[in-house]
């Protein structure tokens, strides 16, 4: 795209962009010195135009402000606003609408389909907020109207009419023929939103908004919006990938080499754990040689929220430094949980420093979350004394106690609406500064963000929760809340936000819970497997939330089958076709072969027949593929053109491997890991001559695990022998031309198959 694709209507002060928009403009909402709300649009008279080397500026002055709209017109245009106070008195800046299209002013969006048929990617504000693609005209998604839901998930006021869809920071609007991405690629100064409004199913308006939160702007001062990226493509998934890469590069995302593996105390003990429970789980991890590197002590060690360095000595009598040292002596990384931007109403910190609280215009403290029956309030992160308290707290946790992994929860509380001590602050600047202070203190140690606004964390956190809490229930206890703890909700977000993995951080899909129903779980087998499948295919953090001493070996195997993490994210191939994506696919390519592992999900409450065309999976419909059902441990057969899943049970995720049929002996799959060869197979070599072929598979995986290695034989080749570690081993015929070799894998093994074409 170049400058010839921007058409400026000088008489109207509007512009068209690359046949996507017609009569677009920009707007500013502010309050003057007397508190009167004003709206100034770029559209109007006396608009000045400047062009130079692919950059265009439209400028208009309407007292007391001057608007300057800038565009860089390269392959993916970037636009932003600058607002200068040209008056003699301060103003309060509320919104910078970097792009605004209103049908009542003849603005149009051209996407080759009526607005009621558009698919709208909705990115919720923080990690637990709902993320998915909804039907713009008749989507099923609803949101609550309670105060707590508004505080946690709705940072911007939405008009009740006409129908409004909002997406934090970015969105893709998709049709079968064309898709449009609008996404802010910076996030340090303002929260931002893409807002679409329909009126009786027809397009009403579209806006890309930066929220200045009433920021005080002095005479002569200039405020700059975040930069908005505009792109179009037929493939909406490609747009999400390109956008995530652009943000990650521009904001210097921290992406560790490998996804962390952890054990966390919360999801079994819920704050009732003690020193003995942590040590017991640590010992079980060592005994089983489970590759879980980080031991996270979650909520419950502290005497109150805010008093993070005051330890509950009844549960942890030897203190947190002793426990961190014990974890390190055992060869693991000690991790700790805290919610650093909020304070409990009963805390010592609040009694000693009530001035630390963020308050509204009337002086009332800002409620942020309820911890069991206690109210917690937001801290004012723009205060110098709060910032120094934050530094001192993390010096103790990091330098004195020795923790090296920090799970920071309820971070949205640092971006609450309120009257900040610094009148020039915004919610984005406040939380970003709080996070920067923590990073400065802990250095290169690992930070995992939870319940956090996404954009403001890029470049600071190493890993990020991307969905609601995992749960021992499939649906939430109370229906109607799309953000409540529930396995179905966690999977929905894991799939919808998969493209952020290794672009902004390491994705954390939350805990994997594999315990039985008689051990504090309500999940049936299919639901537990669906959770394991989504987490394993995501490639992100694997965080065990079970009490490992009480976990039966028949269930422990499910945890082992997603360790270590693949690091590579699967893709939600039908994300823009279904409000809950059904196909989560991981393409694998190695030196010894290429295959696809696909999770096919049944979200329904009843058994159904599912048919998937190979083309939907990105496979060549003209080729033949071996298909293996991982959870059922069954060779399905050879698929051409499509695959049919009979009796696809409620809430079941079928994990299927697709590997091209070959004219020679091939490694088909292994059952030691969900990715079926990607993580545990270290090398495959072969010795071939005219009449004899030997295929050798080298396996390596931490711990002890029983499973199979399966081979596919070409036509007319016959089996001579199978061997494990050089010794002949029994085998099974798992299907026509399919040989399965069973073994106990204890760290390493070599499996061989020898075949001949001699009659």
C-beta of residue 648 within 8 angstroms of C-beta of residue 610: yes
Q: For every residue of 1-60, which 3-state class applies, written as one string?
A: CCHHHEEEECCCCEEEECCCEEEEEEEEEEECCCCCEEEEECCCCCCEEEEECCEEEEEE
Regarding beta strands 463-465 and 367-371, do their DSSP bridges make them parallel or antiparallel, or are they unpaired?
A: unpaired
Regarding beta strands 55-62 and 131-135, do their DSSP bridges make them parallel or antiparallel, or are they unpaired?
A: unpaired
CB atoms within 10 A of CB 103: 18
Distance between CA atoms of 496 and 536, rounded to whole angstroms?
15
CB atoms within 10 A of CB 161: 8
Write the DSSP assignment of 694-717 as a string of letters.
Answer: EEEEEEEEEEEEEEEEEEEPPTT-
Distance between CA atoms of 616 and 595, rounded to whole angstroms?
15
* Token duo for residue 424: 């020039």
Q: What is the DSSP letter of 746?
A: E
Spatial CA neighbour of 380 closest among 428, 337, 419, 338:
419
Distance between CA atoms of 584 and 577, rounded to whole angstroms?
13
C-alpha gyration radius of the chain? 28
Collect all residues with Cβ–Cβ distance below 8 Å to 614 and sequence separation of at least 6: 620, 621, 623, 625, 639, 640, 641, 642, 643, 658
Catalytic center residues: 409, 469
**For residue 567, how far is the Cα from the chain centroid?**
14
Q: Which residue has the tokens 């934050």?
A: 390
* Token duo for residue 446: 């690992």
State yes or no: cis peptide before 162, omega within 30 of 0: yes
Q: Is the dihedral of CA 523, 612, 562, 710 positive or negative?
A: positive
Distance between CA atoms of 229 and 95, rounded to whole angstroms?
18
Distance between CA atoms of 632 and 597, rounded to whole angstroms?
14
Q: Which residue has the tokens 């809430």?
A: 651
Spatial CA neighbour of 248 closest among 572, 74, 507:
507
CB atoms within 10 A of CB 372: 8
Distance between CA atoms of 332 and 283, rounded to whole angstroms?
11
Collect all residues with Cβ–Cβ distance below 8 Å to 508 and sequence separation of at least 6: 448, 450, 463, 464, 465, 466, 540, 541, 543
Spatial CA neighbour of 196 closest among 82, 83, 130, 111:
111
* Token duo for residue 597: 């592992």
Write the DSSP assignment of 120-131 as a string of letters.
Answer: EEEE-SBTTS-E
Angular region, 638: left φ>0, alpha ψ -120 to 50, beta rest: beta
Dihedral over alpha carbons 629, 593, 686, 567 (to 10 degrees) = -90
Collect all residues with Cβ–Cβ distance below 8 Å to 56 and sequence separation of at least 6: 3, 6, 8, 49, 50, 70, 71, 73
């Amino acid at each position: 795209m170049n400058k010839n694709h921007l058409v400026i209507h000088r008489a109207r002060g509007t512009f068209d962009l690359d046949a996507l928009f017609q009569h677009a403009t920009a707007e500013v909402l502010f309050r003057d010195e007397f508190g009167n709300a004003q709206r100034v649009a770029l559209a109007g008279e006396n608009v000045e135009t400047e062009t130079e080397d692919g950059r265009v500026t439209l400028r208009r002055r309407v007292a007391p402000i001057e608007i300057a709209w800038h565009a860089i017109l390269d392959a993916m245009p970037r636009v932003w606003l600058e607002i200068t106070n040209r008056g003699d008195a301060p103003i309060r800046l509320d919104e910078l609408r970097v792009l605004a299209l209103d049908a009542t002013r003849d603005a149009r969006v051209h996407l080759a389909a009526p607005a009621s048929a558009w698919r709208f990617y909705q990115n919720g504000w923080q990690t637990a907020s709902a993320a998915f693609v909804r039907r713009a005209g008749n989507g099923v998604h609803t949101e609550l109207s309670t105060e707590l839901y508004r505080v946690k998930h709705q940072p911007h006021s939405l008009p009740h009419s006409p129908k409004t869809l909002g997406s934090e920071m970015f969105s893709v609007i998709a049709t079968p023929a064309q898709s449009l991405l609008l996404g802010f690629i910076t996030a340090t100064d303002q929260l931002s939103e893409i807002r679409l409004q329909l009126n009786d199913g027809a397009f009403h308006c579209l806006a890309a908004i930066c929220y200045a939160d009433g920021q005080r702007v002095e005479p002569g001062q200039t405020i700059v919006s975040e930069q908005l990226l505009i792109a179009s493509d037929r493939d909406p998934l490609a747009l999400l990938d390109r956008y995530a890469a652009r943000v990650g590069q521009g904001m210097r995302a921290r992406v560790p080499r490998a996804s962390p593996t952890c054990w966390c105390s919360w999801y079994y003990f819920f704050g009732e754990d003690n020193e003995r429970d942590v040590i017991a789980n640590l010992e079980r991890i060592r005994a089983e040689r489970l590759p879980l590197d980080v031991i996270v002590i979650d909520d419950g060690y502290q005497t109150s929220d805010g008093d993070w360095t005051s330890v509950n000595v009844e549960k942890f009598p030897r203190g947190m430094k002793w426990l961190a040292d014990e974890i390190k002596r055992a060869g693991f990384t000690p991790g700790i949980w805290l919610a650093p931007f909020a304070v409990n109403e009963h805390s010592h910190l609040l009694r000693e420093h009530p001035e630390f609280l963020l308050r509204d215009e009337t002086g009332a403290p800002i409620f942020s979350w309820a911890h069991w029956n206690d109210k917690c309030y937001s801290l004012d992160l723009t205060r110098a004394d709060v910032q120094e308290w934050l530094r001192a707290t993390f010096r103790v946790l990091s330098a004195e106690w020795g923790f090296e992994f920090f799970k920071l929860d309820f971070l949205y509380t640092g971006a609450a609406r309120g009257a900040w001590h610094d009148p020039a602050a915004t919610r984005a600047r406040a939380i970003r500064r709080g996070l920067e202070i923590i990073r400065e203190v802990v250095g290169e140690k690992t930070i995992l963000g939870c319940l956090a606004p996404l954009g403001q964390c890029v470049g600071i956190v190493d890993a990020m929760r991307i969905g609601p809490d995992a749960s021992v229930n499939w649906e939430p206890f109370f229906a109607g809340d799309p953000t409540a703890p529930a396995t179905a909700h966690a999977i929905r977000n894991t799939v919808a936000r998969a493209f952020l993995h290794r672009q902004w951080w390491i994705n954390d899909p939350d805990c994997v819970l594999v315990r039985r129903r008689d051990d504090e779980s309500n999940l049936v087998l299919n639901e537990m497997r669906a959770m394991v499948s989504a987490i394993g295919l995501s490639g992100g953090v694997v965080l065990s939330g079970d009490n490992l001493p009480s976990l039966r070996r028949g269930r422990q195997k499910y945890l082992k089958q997603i360790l270590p993490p693949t690091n590579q994210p699967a893709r939600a191939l039908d994300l823009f076709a279904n409000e809950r994506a059904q196909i989560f696919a991981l393409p694998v390519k190695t030196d010894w072969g290429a295959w696809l592992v696909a999770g096919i999900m049944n979200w329904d409450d009843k058994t159904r027949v599912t048919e998937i065309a190979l083309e939907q999976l990105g496979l060549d419909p003209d080729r033949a593929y071996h298909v293996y059902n991982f959870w059922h441990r069954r060779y399905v057969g050879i698929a051409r053109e499509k695959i049919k899943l009979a009796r696809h049970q409620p809430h079941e995720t079928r994990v299927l491997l697709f590997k091209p049929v070959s004219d020679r002996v091939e490694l088909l799959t292994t059952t030691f890991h969900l990715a079926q060869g990607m993580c545990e197979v270290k090398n495959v070599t072969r010795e071939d001559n005219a009449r004899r072929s030997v295929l050798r598979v080298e396996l390596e995986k931490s711990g002890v695990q029983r499973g199979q290695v399966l081979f596919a034989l070409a036509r007319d080749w016959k089996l001579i022998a199978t061997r494990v570690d050089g010794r002949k081993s029994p085998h099974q015929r798992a299907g026509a031309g399919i040989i399965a070799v069973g073994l106990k894998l204890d760290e390493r093994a070599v499996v061989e198959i020898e075949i001949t074409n001699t009659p």
